[in-house]
Structure 1
Amino acid sequence: MALELGILAGFFLIFLAVLLSPFKVKIIEENLEVFLFVCGIVAMTIAGMVELPGLETGWRMGIIKEALTSPLNSLNIRGIPIGIFQIVLIVGLIIYKWHEPIHKAIRKMASALSLKIMAFILIAVLGLFSSVMSAILAAIILVEMVNALPLSRKSKIDLTVVACFSIGLGAALTPLGEPLSTIAISKLSGAPYHADFYFLFNMLGKYILPGILVYGLVGMFFLGKVDMNDKGMKAEEYNETLKDVIMRAVKVYLFIMALTFLGDGFKPIIFEYFAQIPATILYWVNMVSAILDNATLAAAQIGPNLTELQIKGILMGLLIAGGMLIPGNIPNIISAGKLGITSKEWARLGVPMGLVSMFIYFFIIFVLKL
């Protein structure tokens, strides 16, 4: 059943607003969480005008409860719900209390190694272990280390963007890393795949692990161009107040709520049209993951009826595109919020790097079929 033209137009306008407004309107850039939250509310309201068989849409107690609680229990580690809000707040308070010895240790490590080696270690190690420690914790460690390194602002942004691509990829290898992997395994747990804890590692590891190492080398390249005599190169002094720490956690909470509403609001489009798109085209269409919740997209697209090639293409498309813009991934959101990275600053490297990565993986997966 096709959606009415007016409803399609409404969704299209919201999509354009989310995609373009942060680059064009300064007040939106400075209040991105609130803007996305409002867009999510509008999307949910429009979705309520749609009736699709077997699909709950629009405002209902279930989605409101999910939006309120998802920042508090977004991950499930060994049966224990762990939330983005708690991790950001608790780790933020720990760093607030003991920032001097933590930053001193980071700077001591930086002085013992070259910045290029530090960049490679930071990108590769956090990417490889994000599937175990979770993408959230990896992102928090990333921003503290980047802050403590003697780098110019541009170099810090470049390093952060590359590292978030690495973390976003690595986190998908196990259900501990991020919600997308948990949903994918749940969807494929029955016949014929019988997905277990190591399913995604076995399927995607040969693409993701080399990708993480390449991102590490790319990070070395960007830092290799840094002028060590640049007066703008410095380690940031810790100057956060207790209020800053708390407000950052609150903003992350609001951001996750906004993405929950946006993802659910766009479900009529995702479930009605995305399932009809061939895998090779869907791979590129999944670039919408740069601004929409990739877990919702995965839930709509992944199923036991798909071939292994289709599953690989869908997941890799979602994972790579998630690094292109700030709303695309939890690590992006946390890192941009902490380091004050704007949408334009992120997109300057995130978009071209994402597009190049998409082309390379498309060739490997769909052309070479490796």
Structure 2
Amino acid sequence: MISILIFVFLLVLFLPLTVNIVENNLEVFLFFMGLLTIIISGGFTEALFAKAAQDPIKIAVAVFIAGLLFRWLQAPLERVINGCRRLIPHRLFIAFSVLFLGLISSVITAIIAALVMVIIVTTLKMDRRSEVRFVVLSCFSIGLGAALTPIGEPLATLVVGKLHKHFFFLMQLIGPEVFVALLMFSILAALLVKPPTFQMQITKRSNKREGYEDIFVRALKIYFFVMGLEFLGEGFEPLINTFLVNLNPALLYWINMISAVLDNATLSAAEVSRTMGPITLKAILLGLLISGGMLIPGNIPNIISAGKLKITSLEWAKFGVPLGLIFMMIFYLSMFKIIL
């Protein structure tokens, strides 16, 4: 069974990068692969199916409501963004946007922060390379920033609840590292995201409002995406219990790069324990959160922004994987002597 699960994991990791039909139907693919995984592992039960069907409802509803707000408020938000852009130099505006999105995501949720970021992208009309870089950097920022409070993203909610900690526990535990990372992402954005030329501003796509049907379909896709991730997390639990749970946290930090394709909330549920010290908890959480930005399936903001802006898995990986590895190394070295 373990060897089959490893094979399925490799399919989940590589098929979206190499097969167009999988790339174009990523949410459905992950749902069926999750269902297959849970059947292979022997963990399929009616109770699990009911839980997996119920848990994504809040997220899907939030995506739908956020989509409606995005549609209704798109014009005034574009005016605000254009006004700020005229007053602030481009590179400073880009840096501030990445930093602001990361900080505000812990309050307005990662989903809404991602939709605000999409408005910024469509308003600025950058070249494709700069656009992808800005989106990936912003999603790294949002994914990390949203984990500072339990309302920002599911991982934070689950960890705080499992450890029976107070609302600001994660902000105290990983806040300094997250703030440093957000500053670094914003500086990189200022350096790597080029200002749009006058010709780009004329010829780039118009900010056409999406229809209500599109909003509903996206929410439905997110529902099946989250449901599939829950199946994957439960289905791969034998792998996690066999290879991960009792590892040294320094090694676990790197292995948690599987969060790039699996639900980091599920992984944290399997790995986090009340008996762990703060250094071990910090290593586990930072490994999960940083790697979540490396590939599209790693975070819900990635899925939302890539879907709306038609960013392919390969486009994302070309920038997201090297960036994630660099940041993984930076924070590993910052904790190296303490952990070992």
Bigger drift between 154-163 and 97-106 goes to 97-106
**Which structure has greater helix proportion?**
2
Residue 248 in structure 1 maps to residue 218 in structure 2: yes
Q: 1:119 aligns with which of 85, 94, 105?
A: 94
The runs of 4+ residues in structure 1 deviating greater than 4 Å are none
Residue 253 of structure 2 aligns with which residue?
Answer: 283
Residue 8 of structure 1 aligns with which residue?
Answer: 2
Shift in Å at residue 129 of structure 1? 1.7
Q: Are residues 167 and 95 of structure 1, via their aligned partners in 2, closer, same or farther at CA, if it must alter by over 3 Å?
A: closer
Are the counterparts in 2 of residues 149 and 234 from structure 1 also a CA contact under 8 Å? no
Bigger drift between 135-144 and 345-354 goes to 135-144
Residue 142 of structure 1 aligns with which residue?
Answer: 117
Are the counterparts in 1 of residues 37 and 236 from structure 2 also a CA contact under 8 Å? yes
Residue 306 in structure 1 maps to residue 245 in structure 2: no
- SS of 1:275's partner is coil
Are the counterparts in 2 of residues 88 and 140 from structure 1 also a CA contact under 8 Å? no
Residue 186 of structure 2 aligns with which residue?
Answer: 216
Q: Work out the CA distance in 2 between the residues paired with 1:11 and 1:345.
A: 27
What's the Cα RMSD here? 1.8
Residue 156 of structure 1 aligns with which residue?
Answer: 131
Equivalent pairs: percent with the same residue? Answer: 41
Q: TM-score, normalised by structure 1?
A: 0.87
Q: Work out the CA distance in 1 between the residues paired with 2:74 and 2:274.
A: 48
Are the counterparts in 2 of residues 151 and 235 from structure 1 also a CA contact under 8 Å? no
Q: Are residues 95 and 197 of structure 1, via their aligned partners in 2, closer, same or farther at CA, if it must alter by over 3 Å?
A: closer
- CA distances 1:74-124 after superposition (whole Å, capped 9, x unpaired): xxxxxxxxx221122122123334433332332232222222122112110
Residue 64 in structure 1 maps to residue 46 in structure 2: no
Q: Are residues 270 and 149 of structure 1, via their aligned partners in 2, closer, same or farther at CA, if it must alter by over 3 Å?
A: same
Are the counterparts in 2 of residues 161 and 350 from structure 1 also a CA contact under 8 Å? yes
- CA distances 1:157-207 after superposition (whole Å, capped 9, x unpaired): 110100110111111111111111122222322xxxxx2111111111111
- CA distances 1:129-176 after superposition (whole Å, capped 9, x unpaired): 211111111111111121111211221111010011011111111111
- Counterpart of 1:280, as a letter, is A
Q: Are residues 276 and 302 of structure 1, via their aligned partners in 2, closer, same or farther at CA, if it must alter by over 3 Å?
A: same
Residue 63 of structure 2 aligns with which residue?
Answer: 88
Q: Work out the CA distance in 1 between the residues paired with 2:175 and 2:131.
A: 28
Q: TM-score, normalised by structure 2?
A: 0.94
Write the mapping of 1:221-240 to structure 2, written as runs, cut at 5 A: 221-223=191-193, 225-226=194-195, 228-229=197-198, 231=200, 234=204, 236-240=206-210
Shift in Å at residue 226 of structure 1? 4.5
Q: Work out the CA distance in 2 between the residues paired with 1:310 and 1:59.
A: 31
Q: Work out the CA distance in 1 between the residues paired with 2:161 and 2:167.
A: 10
Q: Work out the CA distance in 2 between the residues paired with 1:110 and 1:226.
A: 11
Bigger drift between 97-106 and 118-127 goes to 97-106
Shift in Å at residue 235 of structure 1? 6.1
- SS of 2:244's partner is helix
Are the counterparts in 2 of residues 287 and 321 from structure 1 also a CA contact under 8 Å? yes
Residue 31 in structure 1 maps to residue 25 in structure 2: yes
Residue 44 of structure 1 aligns with which residue?
Answer: 38
Are the counterparts in 2 of residues 325 and 350 from structure 1 also a CA contact under 8 Å? yes
Are the counterparts in 2 of residues 131 and 172 from structure 1 also a CA contact under 8 Å? yes
Residue 13 of structure 2 aligns with which residue?
Answer: 19
Which 5+ residue runs of structure 1 have no aligned equivalent? Answer: 1-6, 49-57, 73-82, 190-194
Residue 52 of structure 1 aligns with which residue?
Answer: none
- SS of 1:59's partner is coil
Shift in Å at residue 269 of structure 1? 1.3
Equivalences, count: 339
Shift in Å at residue 368 of structure 1? 5.9
Q: 1:128 aligns with which of 93, 98, 103?
A: 103
Q: Work out the CA distance in 1 between the residues paired with 2:50 and 2:56.
A: 11
Shift in Å at residue 208 of structure 1? 0.7
